[in-house]
Each structure stands twice: as C-alpha cells, then as structure tokens.
Amino acid sequence: MSPEPKSQEQWSAVDEYVNGLVVRPDAALDQALASTAAAGMPAIAVSAAQGKLLHLYARMIGARRILEVGTLGGYSTIWMARALPADGRIISLEIDPRHAEVARTNLSRAGVDHLAEVRIGPALESLTKMAAEGEGRFDLVFIDADKANIPEYFTLSSKLLRPGGVIIVDNVVRNGGVLDGSGKDPNVAGVRRFNDLLATLPDVSATTVQTVGSKGYDGFTLAIVGG
C-alpha cells in the first residue's frame, strides 16, 4: 500500500525526486529562478515539473507561435521557448518593466532570446493592440498574470489564436479557494467568472486538472478553442 497523501512537505519531496530523474531542469533555468529571487521578485514561477509540462504541451501540438500573459523572470518563457522550432516565436506580456528587464537577461542567458520577446504594458492593453493590429495565429496561449482579469485575457487571446489553438490558464484552483463564491477574494472571483464564461462557450472544449507539488495545491485549465 502506498502511504496516505499527506502534506506540502511530501508534495515538495516528490517534486524534487521527479525533477532529478524525469524533468531534468538545467543551469539556465536554475539561474533564472536565482536571479528572480535576487531581484526581490516573488517566487511564483511555475514549478520545474509544470514548466516541463508546458514545454511538452507545446511540442505535442507542434507550436510555432506562443503567447504568454505574465512573464515575471521568464522561467516559464524559457521552458516554452525551448519547445519551439528554430523559426518559432514566443511573445510574453509583462506589466512591470523591472520584471521584463530581469526576464530579458534570463532569456538571453538561456540562449533563447532570438525566439522570445517581452512586451511591457498592462496585458489588457497589449492584447487589445495585438488584436487591432491583426497579430495572431498563435498556437498556444499561457495565461499567468493577475487572476482578476483571467476571463478578459481568455476572451482577448481567443481572438489571437488559430482555429483549434490551445489556451492554458494557471492558478485556477487556489488551494480549493475556487469553491468560495462569496466574491471576497478578487483572484478567486476572476477564476469563477472564467468558469462561468467557459460554461457559455459552445466552441470551447476545456477541462481543469487539480495539481499538488512544490507550489502547493492548485490547478490548470486547458482549453481548445474552435477548430
């Protein structure tokens, strides 16, 4: 019999075990996390196992163009950039110029700066501008910025997606907080508005998978839009 699932301590220990053998993050990724911490930025990047998951999803669909909402230090950006072909592109949107600066350094150190671009500004504005300028046909979108605006990011990035493209949204379970319908926590409220939206969209096929690991108990929503 396997032991009862227990605790954060155990989830982190299993993540560590898996990282060494299966995920195999490298020096550039470790350095991206270290420089993010050294800059006083929060330790909220995806875990190594989650980064590898994003990388594998991108490869599974043969993604050539990826859009990310929420860059931080570029950790998830590097994982996804590494899934791209030589002429691929990842554009990552970030509101904080300091974060963008750290991310650009990390992308360059990881040797993916020719594939990756960080655009500074509120993502609502950047996405609106991209749609107005006809920039589009992304294969994959990863939404991981402020949680209150998740539904708006989903709607705007849907317009930038190729038919049948994939949108992945981070932090949709929030330690089970998603069940709190009181509206007190604006992050949870954003996730719940997003789920209410998904329920109304016939051309979107989606699921939410709960996760545990070094980042606690949370989850991803995966959606295929149209096609």
Rule CB under 6 A: which residues touch ligand DHB?
44, 144, 170-171
| Side-chain-facing half-sphere of 20: CA atoms under 13 Å | 5
Residue among 68 and 144 whose Cβ is closer to Mg ion: 144
**Of 127 and 161, which CB lies nearer to ligand SAH in the complex structure?**
127
Answer for the pair 106, 80: CB distance below 8 angstroms, yes or no. Answer: no
SS3 of 129, please? helix
Helix (H, G, I), strand (E, B) or coil at 96: coil
139 binds, among ligand DHB, ligand SAH, Mg ion, none (CB under 5 to 8 A by kind): none
Give the strand order in the sheet containing 65-69.
116-120, 89-94, 65-69, 138-143, 161-170, 216-225, 204-213
For ligand SAH, which is the closer residue by CB, 143 or 198?
143
192 binds ligand SAH (CB under 6 A): no
**Strand residues in 144-193 grouped as ranges (E):** 161-170
Instruction: Please list every residue from 135 through 154 that binds ligand SAH, using CB under 6 A.
Output: 144-146
Please give the size of the binding site for ligand SAH, defined by CB under 6 A: 18
When asked if residue 102 is in the footprint of ligand SAH (CB under 6 A), the reply is no
Nearest to 20 by CA among 45, 43, 52, 44: 52
Binding-residue pattern over the window 69 to 98 for ligand SAH, x denoting contact by CB under 6 A: -xxx--xx----------------xxxx--
Closest residue to Mg ion using C-beta atoms:
170
> Considering beta carbons, is residue 7 or 159 the nearer one to ligand SAH?
159
Are the beta carbons of 173 and 150 closer than 8 angstroms? no
The smaller minimum CB distance to Mg ion, of residues 169 and 225, is found at 169
Which structure tokens are listed for 186? Answer: 């604006």
Query: Which residues form the interface with ligand SAH (CB under 6 A)?
Result: 44-46, 70-72, 75-76, 93-96, 99, 122-123, 144-146
